[in-house]
Structure 1
Amino acid sequence: MSKQIKVGIVGGAGYTGGELIRLLVHHPYVAVSFIHSRSNAGKPVYAVHEDLVGETDWQFTGDLSQDVDVVFLCVGHGEAKKFLTENPFDARVKIIDLSQDFRLTSNATLGDRQFVYGLPELNREAIRQANNIANPGCFATAIQLGLLPLAKAGLLQNVYTTGITGSTGAGQSLSATSHFSWRANNIQAYKTLNHQHLNEIGESLLQLQPAGQIDVSFVPWRGDFTRGIFISSQLDLDLPATEVTSLYKNFFDGHPFTTVSDQPIFLKQAVNTNKCIIQLEKVGSKLVVHSIIDNLLKGASGQAVQNMNLLFGLDERAGLKLKANYF
């Protein structure tokens, strides 16, 4: 690709904004035009994201520019729609929103902008044709990737899911449950059976399995670590283990970031990468699907870059060939 993609970032001071900057600073086909932050305007990016010292001399700005090809919205839930309403971009500018504002079909339209749900393993061809992307949630990504092959085969009914996430999933603003003194040597269930990602999960599963009722019961956990998500979903399934494995490997064939492992998986395999790694365990008539991702990468900024690559006709792996930290 000869022409570089001109990128704007709104909300560049938070966790997802920082991860996005770390990915784009070395992306071979990207030129960052602006990184917007009202509270940090005029500061160098490395003053907030201190690990970027020596990587870039980019600065935060309080100004917006129309001279971009795509804008990433890394603002809080409920803020993206408000921001776009108050700061409309030209229709030719593509939008990738990392909040939950446009993920559901009922909320996917803003004026002339129609948002496509940006889970490449589900909607890759639609993403390639889209102008606006609603980036999936982190828990939603890990749970859906563990269940989509079964939905396509029409095999889902009652699913019981647990998942544990690191403290970065709560955002950068300090709260009682993200403080080190609370998190260390501690776990807690929260939003039991009522997590906000359940709605988008339900829509995606029904997209592949429109017939029959699917009930996903989800208990999320706060974990004693900074990043990563480990999901375990349990359901009744009479298919032999070999057939289930084939079902999964066939579904994800050609999707470069999702892998079905024949060995037990653990979180460090996915952290600091854009991977989702899945392990299947069959015990009698029960199937347990384990799936792991990095909540800030495949669960947020990495998937957003993957979507950008698809929007602009690039190899979806561009800028995302990352290495896990094994030790």
Structure 2
Amino acid sequence: MNKEALTTDIQMINVGIIGGAGYTGGELIRLLINHPQVNISFIHSRSNSGKYVYEVHKDLLGDTELQFSDEVKQDIDCLFLCLGHGESTKFLQETTLADTIKIIDLANDFRLHKDKVQESIQRSFVYGLPELNMEEIRGARNIANPGCFATTIQLGLLPLAKAGLLKDIYTTGITGSTGAGQSLSATSHFSWRANNIQAYKTLTHQHLGEIGESLHQLQGDTDFDLSFVPWRGDFTRGIFVSSTITTDLSLEELYPLFFDFYEAHPFTQVSKTPVFLKQVVNTNKAVLHLEKAGNKLVVHAALDNLLKGASGQAVHNMNLIFGLEETTGLRLKPAAF
């Protein structure tokens, strides 16, 4: 697509990316170089400054001639932060940015209520789950992008929270190796990951706080207990979560709660047939399916951790902030085979 030809007819959004060499940064670049209303002004990476983007993200050979830079430009409309957890706050404290620049942070620095207003950087953040906070996002200047496991679990539970049905929640979920980030560790090497699974951060995962706050946002002060056991999977992309609650409602009564809740949200699909990971890998979609035995309801949810769980959701939030059709640049083909 010739973006230069579009600039005379369509207002373009100038964006910058901080931390463009990692997994989420790479996915963001892939989305934005193909977004019809975005110009990438710079991609910041101190360790790769001067290199062509395709030298780091080798699949982009022939797609872009952009180079990494160590400069933070001010003549942009939106800045994406693809930094490690805790690094976004440090960056914003050390970097003077124009007040007009919108910020979308993909780390966990500003997701919780206690962190949403940051006096040290004079900015306040809106929790960027579109299926929950659509109108607040449209009017926001700064977005805290949700976590990948948090997004998956919440999408499976939000309709139940709205109906006041949550009490004891038992959730298990498995994630691909890209969820651990690009830096190698003992549990992200192929030789460890292949033909292997492992539970980790049992009942203590860092996304529990944001999940709890979102569910309380819909269910009010009613107490519930959320137990979550995450698993490392032997694949690269995607998250599959199963959440169990107790309810006497039938599937015929439960499915309408989900269809009604997500009717206006194009990226979350409710299926009456079993869902699987390859439906969503390489897309910005989440798919949900309900099963019931006796008084136990299981909600299955699947999405791509790097897209709907991270960079795709960040672009969705950008579209909302700047008044674009929310699916712009995000109609992606799944890796079905």
Tell me the TM-score range normalised by the shorter chain: over 0.9
Letter in 2 for 1:95: I
2:288 to 270, 278, 287: 278
Q: Where do residues 187-266 of structure 1 align in structure 2 (5 Å cutoff)? A: 187-266=197-276
- CA deviations on 1:270-310 (whole Å, 9 max, x unpaired) are 10000010000011111000000000000000000000000
**Residue in structure 1 matched with residue 116 of structure 2 by the alignment:** 108
Please list every run of at least 4 consecutive aligned residues from structure 1 whose deviation after the TM superposition is greater than 2 angstroms: none
Question: Shift in Å at residue 13 of structure 1?
Answer: 0.2
CA shift for structure 1 position 240: 1.1
Corresponding residue number in structure 2 for 1:81: 89
Cα deviation for residue 88 of structure 1 reads: 2.4
Give the alignment partner of residue 57 of structure 1, picking from 51, 55, 65: 65
Which residue of 27, 35, 48 maps to 2:43? Answer: 35
Distance 2:118 2:25 in 1: 23
The one-letter code matched in structure 1 to 2:276 is F
Residue 6 of structure 1 corresponds to: 14
Partner of 1:174: 184
Distance in 2 (alpha carbons) for counterparts of 1:311 and 1:258: 19
Report SS of the residue matched to 2:125: strand
Whether 2:129 is the aligned partner of 1:129: answer: no
Distance 2:237 2:123 in 1: 33
Alpha-carbon distance between aligned partners in 2 of 1:57 and 1:12, rounded to the nearest angstrom = 14
Query: In structure 1, how many angstroms separate the alpha carbons of the residues matched to 2:52 and 2:265?
Result: 37
Runs of at least 5 residues in structure 1 that lack an aligned partner in the other structure: none
1:20 to 25, 28, 48: 28
Structure 2 counterpart of 1:290, from 280, 287, 300: 300
2:112 and 2:36 map into 1 onto residues whose CA distance is 32
Match of 1:164 in 2: 174
Which residue in 1 is equivalent to 2:79? 71
**Alignment partner for residue 94 of structure 1, among 70, 93, 102?**
102
> How far apart, CA to CA, are the structure 2 residues paired with 1:231 and 1:204?
17
> Aligned equivalents of 1:307 and 1:183: distance in 2?
33
Distance in 2, matches of 1:108 and 1:40, equals 31
How far apart, CA to CA, are the structure 2 residues paired with 1:119 and 1:252? 13
Paired residue type of 2:187: T
Count of equivalent residues: 327
Partner secondary structure for residue 172 of structure 1: coil
Which amino acid in structure 2 is aligned with residue 318 of structure 1? T
Once the two structures are superposed, what CA deviation does each residue of 1:228-255 show, in whole Å capped at 9, x if it has no partner? 0000000101111111000000000010
Q: Distance in 1 between matches of 2:320 and 2:285?
A: 16
Which amino acid is the alignment partner of residue 188 of structure 2?
S
Matched, 1:140 2:150: yes
Secondary structure of residue in 2 paired with 1:247: helix
C-alpha separation in 2, matches of 1:286 and 1:258: 23
SS in 1 for 2:184: coil
How far the C-alpha of 1:211 sits from its partner, in A, is 3.0
Distance 1:67 1:115 in 2: 21
Percent identity of the aligned residues? Answer: 68
Provide the C-alpha distance between the structure 2 equivalents of 1:89 and 1:120, rounded to a whole number of angstroms. Answer: 26
CA offsets per residue over residues 39-98 of structure 1, 9 Å max, x none?
A: 000000000000000000000000011100000000000000000100121111000000
Which residue number corresponds to residue 314 of structure 2? 304
Please give the secondary structure, in 1, of the residue aligned with 2:136: helix
Structure 2 CA distance, aligned partners of 1:110 and 1:42? 33
> Could you state the TM-score of these two structures normalised by the residue count of structure 1?
0.99
CA distance in 2, matches of 1:211, 1:61: 47
- Shift in Å at residue 109 of structure 1? 1.6
TM-score by length of 2: 0.96
